[in-house]
Amino acid sequence: MQITVLSGGVGGSRFIEGLLRTKGPDDEVTVIANTADDISLFGLHISPDLDTVMYTLGDGIDRERGWGRTDESWNAKDELATYGIEQAWFGLGDRDIATHLVRTMRLQEGRTLSEVTAELCERWQPGVRLLPMTDDRVETHIGIDRDGRREIIHFQEYWIRLRAQVPVEEVVVQGVQDARPAPGVVEAIRGADLVLLPPSNPIVSIGPIAAVPGIREAIAATPAPVVGVSPLIGGGAVRGMADQLLTGLGIELSATGVAAHHGARSSGGLLDGWLVDTTDADQLPALEALGLAARAVPLWMTDAGTTDRLAEDTVQLAHSIGARR
């Protein structure tokens, strides 16, 4: 079975770990990762979501932090701060820097992001085929109101430096309208048996992937059922930081709000099915009214057991949708 996952960083990676532990021996997983949170800092090309997926599945991630390398040191970052460099807010670990150096060097040599990702994965052996959503440069910028003045900043600055604690007026996924899906991306969606959306941020993770011209069309056209997991439990994001981002864009802070944002495939949206937390079971009728096959299951991925269970529930809902057709 071919399973294709559209993924952001931390939540997506954890979900995919569960999927890999519970999938059948012949199932193959392709991950299409968001690259709109990529950033150029100090001349380095940094791809946070690709790296988080790669490090997590390759067992190089710092599990407590959820991002960056295990056994990390921060000497370069400390020195940047000593130099008084403003961008020292970025979490640039010494081991992590090596990944950025390899990527930057290869891109300067003329390789594509897909090719570099494949090279990096030779080391990490993530157990999936990891594809960037596009080889073209796409960057999510956030329009914020800072003391009454409109300012456009990179998503990373909003997320890390401002800790997403500033009202959002606008999200612009710069360059996405001219981006082309990376090699294999459209085929992985159209040729999939299941397409899964892990609990990733709908605006800055799943949104940019679906916004690459050709990807939304591939999702519309795939014969595979498309099933997502709500990144919201109760009235807030699981990792807690996305609330201002979502409300600023008029998305209702609930599992149903996010599902409505994605939309049902039957009405031109992304989803056939949607999983919400058991505590949100009261939303099932509203979700069905949106045209979605919905189910309430435990969404917290607190350990391997709960994570595996969620992956199984997701695959199961997808199968039941597939069988119904």
54 half-sphere exposure, CB direction, 13 A CA radius: 24
Asked if residue 98 binds a second copy (CB under 8 A), the reply is: yes
Structural contact between residues 114 and 183, judged by C-beta atoms closer than 8 angstroms:
yes
Least gap, CB of 266 to a second copy (angstroms):
46
Given candidates 3, 19, 29, 80, which one binds a second copy under the rule CB under 8 A?
Answer: 80
Q: Which of 73, 177 has the CB closer to a second copy?
A: 73
Least gap, CB of 100 to a second copy (angstroms):
8
Asked if residue 5 binds a second copy (CB under 8 A), the reply is: no
Window contacting a second copy (CB under 8 A); options: 91-99, 132-140, 205-213, 253-261: 91-99
Asked if residue 94 binds a second copy (CB under 8 A), the reply is: yes
Alpha helix ranges (H) inside the chain: 10-22, 48-57, 75-82, 94-108, 113-124, 155-156, 185-190, 207-211, 215-221, 243-248, 255-262, 284-289, 304-324
Q: Which of 72, 136 has the CB closer to a second copy?
A: 72
DSSP secondary structure string for all residues of 13-30: HHHHHHHHHHS-TT-EEE
Least gap, CB of 256 to a second copy (angstroms):
44
Given candidates 104, 134, 200, 244, which one binds a second copy under the rule CB under 8 A?
Answer: 104
**Taking CA 247 as the corner, what is the angle to CA 242 and CA 39, rounded to the nearest 5 degrees?**
45
Least gap, CB of 56 to a second copy (angstroms):
17
Q: Give the closest residue to 97 by CA, choosing from 62, 68, 124, 58.
A: 68
Given candidates 27, 28, 72, 312, which one binds a second copy under the rule CB under 8 A?
Answer: 72
Asked if residue 110 binds a second copy (CB under 8 A), the reply is: no
Site track for a second copy across 119-158, x = CB under 8 A: -x--x-----------------------------------
Given candidates 29, 36, 97, 229, which one binds a second copy under the rule CB under 8 A?
Answer: 97
CA distances from 16 to 62, 156, 322 (A): 16, 23, 21
Residues 6+ apart with CB under 8 A from 180: 134, 135, 136, 212, 213, 214
Least gap, CB of 40 to a second copy (angstroms):
8
Residue 150, both tokens: 């409109």
Asked if residue 113 binds a second copy (CB under 8 A), the reply is: no
Least gap, CB of 143 to a second copy (angstroms):
23
Site track for a second copy across 12-51, x = CB under 8 A: -----------------------------xxxxx------
Structural contact between residues 257 and 232, judged by C-beta atoms closer than 8 angstroms:
yes
Asked if residue 193 binds a second copy (CB under 8 A), the reply is: no
Structural contact between residues 313 and 185, judged by C-beta atoms closer than 8 angstroms:
no
Residue 94, both tokens: 């010494």
Q: Which of 95, 216 has the CB closer to a second copy?
A: 95
Q: What is the CA radius of gyration of the chain?
A: 19
Check the CA dihedral 251-254-258-259 and report its sign: negative
Asked if residue 105 binds a second copy (CB under 8 A), the reply is: yes
Least gap, CB of 90 to a second copy (angstroms):
11
Q: Tell me which residues touch a second copy (CB under 8 A).
A: 41-45, 72-73, 75-80, 82-85, 87, 94-95, 97-99, 101-102, 104-105, 108, 120, 123
